[in-house]
Amino acid sequence: MTGGAGFIGSNFVRYVLENTDYSVTVLDKLTYAGNKESLAGLDESRFSLVEGDIADAELVNELVPRVDAIVHYAAESHNDNSLSDPRPFLDTNIIGTYTLIEAARRHEKRFHHISTDEVYGDLELDDPNRFTEATPYNPSSPYSSTKAGSDLLVRAWVRSFGLQATISNCSNNYGPYQHIEKFIPRQITEVLEGRKPKLYGAGLNVRDWIHADDHSSAVLTILEKGEIGETYLIGADGEKNNLEVVELILETMGKDKTDFDHVNDRPGHDLRYAIDSTKLRTELGWQPKFQDFEAGLKATIDWYTANRDWWSSAKAETEAKYAEKGQ
């Protein structure tokens, strides 16, 4: 698999080692978002980490013949970074994915591509429809457009070359080991540092939250039972606006729920994402386990409180980048 030192990838590694007898080889470049500590203490007889770039065709072609399947998580993943410096998003999300599917094709390996609901653009707050597998692509940001491009490459390789691939598009994940540039861990760690949460604009943008463990169980289900060539949307009916989430974080951490700052909005900020995961549930029998967002958020807050060593060295640099943009 790729990107196993990141937030969701490391969750998948732990999930697979705990719930199957598969062995896992991770290919990860260990960018600012990759952290070896997220993989500390795993059973080394079933797990190995190769440090390298998914766009390095020589390395990829050396590794691919040794595995049965490739699960592709590696990406530049943060919208705000893609607005400041889009180039790494093209290199990793487009060229990196191209390099992997070429190797999967050459060596005839099963491929699963991890993608995002952001490829579908955004919804109005009162739109009764949610995203489905049939929703047209309409990405907004450099990040989401490169993810959309990578999805389209995978689809074309299935049709033109018979690549044995599936794709999943998931909504916003939360849980432990998420980089503190992202919304929920940024706010938790701001409070832990004695500062205020930072809400973009009015905070009315809606995200459809799913626990990372549920994303992992869905991906394993698709890998084992998904139909080749198909796309599956992954979501757990977790729509909340950002204001509600900030208020919940503050209250759970014993603060006044109004004790946050409004900061500059994100340019092109998508208003609402919402996933209809009926296909995955009915065709493959998947169900999420984390239905209680408040309990999952409380456990996430407890994790960041207990694991300052994991995040504290990245805090000053992350906040300095936001401060430059008045965020």
State yes or no: residue 53 binds ligand DAU (CB under 6 A).
Answer: no
Q: Which does 55 bind (CB under 5 to 8 A by kind): ligand NAD, ligand DAU, none?
A: ligand NAD
Among 79, 82, 116, 242, interactor with ligand NAD by CB under 6 A: 116
Q: Which among 29-37, 102-110, 221-229, 310-318 is the span making contact with ligand NAD, rule CB under 6 A?
A: 29-37
47 DSSP β-pair partners:
24
Could you say which of 2, 10, 11, 79 contacts ligand DAU (CB under 6 A)?
79
Neighbours of 265 (CB within 10 A): 15
Count of residues in contact with ligand DAU, rule CB under 6 A: 19
* Residue closer to ligand NAD (CB basis): 71 or 163: 71
Radius of gyration of the chain from Cα atoms?
Answer: 19
Which single residue is written with the structure tokens 């430059």?
324
- Of 82, 92, 216, 277, which lies in the binding site for ligand NAD, with binding defined by CB under 6 A? 92
Residue 79, binding choice from ligand NAD, ligand DAU, none, Cβ under 5 to 8 Å by partner class? ligand DAU
Distance CA 70, CA 26 (A): 10
Closest of 293, 166, 280 to residue 227, by C-alpha: 166
31 binds ligand NAD (CB under 6 A): yes
- Alpha carbon of residue 57 to chain centroid: 24
Q: How many CB atoms lie within 10 A of CB 11?
A: 25
- Please list the helix, strand and coil fractions of the chain in percent, rounded to the nearest 5, in that order: 45, 15, 40
> If binding is defined by CB under 6 A, does position 233 make contact with ligand DAU?
no
Contact indicator for 154, 101 with CB cutoff of 8 Å: yes
Q: Does 273 contact ligand DAU by CB under 6 A?
A: yes
Q: Which is nearer to ligand DAU, 89 or 286 (CB)?
A: 89
Dist CA 188 CA 186 (whole Å): 6
- Note the maximum CA span of the chain: 58
Cross-strand bridge partners of residue 112:
71, 166
127 in catalytic set: no
78 binds ligand DAU (CB under 6 A): yes
Q: Is 116 in the site for ligand DAU (CB under 6 A)?
A: yes
Q: Does 77 bind ligand DAU (CB under 6 A)?
A: yes
The answer to the question of residue 5 lying near ligand NAD (CB under 6 A) is yes
* Residue keyed to tokens 């969750």: 11
Neighbours of 233 (CB within 10 A): 24
Region 181-200 residues binding ligand DAU, contact defined as CB under 6 A: 182-183, 186, 198-200
Residue 172 in the binding site for ligand DAU (CB under 6 A) = yes
Residues 6+ apart with CB under 8 A from 192: 253, 304, 305, 308
Helix axes 242-252 and 183-192, enclosed angle (nearest 10): 30
Give which of ligand DAU, ligand NAD, none residue 5 binds (C-beta under 5 to 8 Å, depending on kind): ligand NAD
Q: Which residues bind ligand NAD (CB under 6 A)?
A: 2-3, 5-9, 27-31, 33-34, 53-55, 73-77, 92, 96, 114, 116, 147, 170, 172-173, 179
Q: Give catalytic residue positions.
A: 117-118, 143
Q: Which residues bind ligand DAU (CB under 6 A)?
A: 77-79, 116-118, 171-172, 182-183, 186, 198-200, 205, 207, 242, 266, 273
